[in-house]
């Protein structure tokens, strides 16, 4: 039954293809043929992305990977410079942009950093905005994207004397991306050199916050602009059939991170696999005692718990068909949009744990194994000493 069913389908499909080719090859159907070909190319890319398999690092490789991340370095080099008032057009915004560009520019892997500068109408009149985009290998066809927003929410002058620093919103997520690029610099350099079709892209959005009242015209200024721009930019260069959005395998958005005990629920069935992968990494790092203040093997990632869609920078991408993993805790941190969202209320253990989990995730997604120093691998397993 099943077999003959398949054969019938195959025969129909073959006949259908033959007829289609005969029709399409006539001159007047050239455009139609072109249209099918275009769909075919972007469909093939989508299939490759859907079937992407991550690797699983060995315990020695995980040991090596997490030994490179350093919370104190991240705090001093990456986080402190971000903890300033940095709403669009402010002096702090410019300083933070310079800091992000200088930090990524100093790394050995050789990132390309581009700016997406534009002006947009806001409740306070037209204002300048700048998204920053760092791409490890711009010519690679496929991209794993990690994103955060670097702007802080604007509080008008009646709040005189109080400064909103947005530590979790989103200085910490942006600092995490900078620390990831620094800690994995060697691995990313080798990955870039491997002529893989897959690369890593970091996006730092401006203007996520509403300037006056959250609404479709007053929020997500940066992501709305960049998603539209990417949709109209051919990728790879010169492509007629695919744009930069087609190149995105997975768009991972980090937001509101740095408070104690984050819980990440599942918003999108299409990316459950990747949320499960994060849970699996959490379990493995827990079993290796790499996570601090982490009593049970699963504390953070809950692919089985569905949560409602939260409006954020992923929306302009999601609406254009990009697969999204939204790493925002439910519930939000208790300090959210209060003047207590500052350095003092950050949880160092949670930040360090998430850094390790995200870094292993990126290596496994990119199929990149860290080079284990030979002395480390020999101490983890009792080896018989060879005679000299």
Ligand X SMILES: *[C@@H]1O[C@H](CO)[C@@H](O)[C@H](O)[C@H]1NC(C)=O
Cβ closest to Zn ion, residue 166 vs residue 303? 166
Q: Does residue 255 have an active-site annotation?
A: yes
Residues 141-200 that bind Zn ion (CB under 5 A): 169
CA dist., res. 67 & res. 76, Å (int): 18
Q: How far is the CB of 180 from Zn ion (least distance, A)?
A: 22
Q: How far is the CB of 91 from ligand X (least distance, A)?
A: 29
Q: Give yes or no for residue 189 binding ligand X (CB under 6 A).
A: yes
Cβ closest to ligand X, residue 22 vs residue 106? 106
- Per-state percent for the chain, helix, strand, coil, to nearest 5: 45, 15, 40
Q: Give yes or no for residue 382 binding ligand X (CB under 6 A).
A: no
- 374 CB-contact burial (10 Å; exposed 0-12 / middle 13-18 / buried 19+): exposed
Q: From the list Zn ion, ligand X, none, pick the one residue 297 interacts with, judged by a Cβ distance below 5 to 8 Å according to partner type.
A: none
Instruction: Find the binder of ligand X among 8, 114, 139, 217 (CB under 6 A).
Output: 217
What is the distance, to the nearest Å, from the Cα of residue 94 to the centroid of all Cα atoms in its chain?
Answer: 23
Tokens of 180: 């990831």
Q: Give yes or no for residue 190 binding ligand X (CB under 6 A).
A: yes
Q: How far is CA 359 from CA 46, 149, 195, in A?
A: 25, 19, 21
Q: How far is the CB of 102 from ligand X (least distance, A)?
A: 23
Instruction: Identify the CA nearest to 318 among candidates 220, 236, 237, 388.
Output: 220
Q: Does residue 312 have an active-site annotation?
A: no
Helices vs. strands in the chain: H and E counts, helices first: 12, 8
Collapsing DSSP to helix, strand or coil, 110 comes out as coil
Q: How far is the CB of 215 from ligand X (least distance, A)?
A: 5
Using the contact rule CB under 6 A, the part of the chain among 99-107, 210-218, 327-335, 357-365 near ligand X is: 210-218
Residues annotated as part of the active site: 208, 255
Interacting residues with Zn ion (CB under 5 A) = 169
Interacting residues with ligand X (CB under 6 A) = 189-190, 193, 215-217
């Amino acid at each position: 039954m099943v077999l003959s069913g398949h054969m019938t389908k195959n025969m129909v499909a073959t006949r259908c293809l033959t007829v289609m080719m005969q029709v399409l090859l006539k001159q007047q159907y050239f455009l139609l043929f072109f249209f099918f070909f275009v769909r075919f190319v972007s469909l093939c890319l989508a299939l490759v992305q859907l079937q992407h398999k991550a690797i699983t690092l060995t315990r020695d490789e995980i040991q090596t990977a997490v030994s490179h991340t350093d919370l104190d370095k991240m705090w001093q080099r990456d986080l402190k410079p971000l903890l300033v008032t940095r709403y669009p057009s402010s002096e702090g915004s410019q300083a933070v942009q310079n800091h992000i560009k200088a930090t990524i520019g100093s790394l050995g892997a050789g990132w390309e950093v581009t700016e997406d500068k534009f002006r947009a109408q806001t409740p306070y009149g037209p204002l300048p905005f700048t998204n920053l985009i760092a791409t490890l290998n711009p010519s690679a066809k496929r991209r794993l994207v990690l994103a955060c927003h670097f702007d802080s929410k604007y509080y008008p002058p009646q709040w005189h004397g109080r400064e909103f620093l947005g530590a979790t919103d989103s200085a910490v997520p942006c600092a995490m991306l900078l620390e990831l690029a620094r800690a994995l610099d060697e691995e990313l350099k080798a990955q870039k050199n491997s002529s893989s079709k897959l690369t890593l892209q970091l996006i730092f959005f401006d203007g996520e916050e509403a300037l006056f009242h959250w609404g479709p015209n007053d929020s997500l200024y940066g992501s709305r602009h960049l998603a539209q721009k990417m949709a109209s930019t051919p990728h790879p260069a010169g492509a007629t059939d695919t744009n930069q959005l087609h190149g995105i395998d997975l768009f991972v958005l980090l937001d509101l991170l740095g408070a104690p005990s984050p819980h990440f629920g599942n918003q999108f069935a299409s990316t459950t696999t990747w949320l499960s992968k994060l849970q699996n990494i959490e379990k493995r790092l827990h079993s290796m005692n790499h996570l601090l203040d982490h009593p049970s093997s699963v504390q953070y990632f809950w692919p089985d718990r569905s949560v409602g869609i939260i409006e954020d920078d992923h929306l302009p991408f999601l609406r254009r068909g990009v697969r999204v993993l939204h790493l925002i805790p439910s519930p939000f941190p208790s300090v959210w949009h209060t003047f207590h969202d500052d350095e003092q209320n950050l949880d160092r253990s949670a930040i360090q744990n998430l850094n390790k989990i995200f870094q292993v995730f990126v290596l496994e997604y990119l199929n990149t194994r860290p080079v284990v120093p030979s002395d480390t691998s020999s101490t983890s397993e009792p080896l018989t000493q060879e005679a000299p």
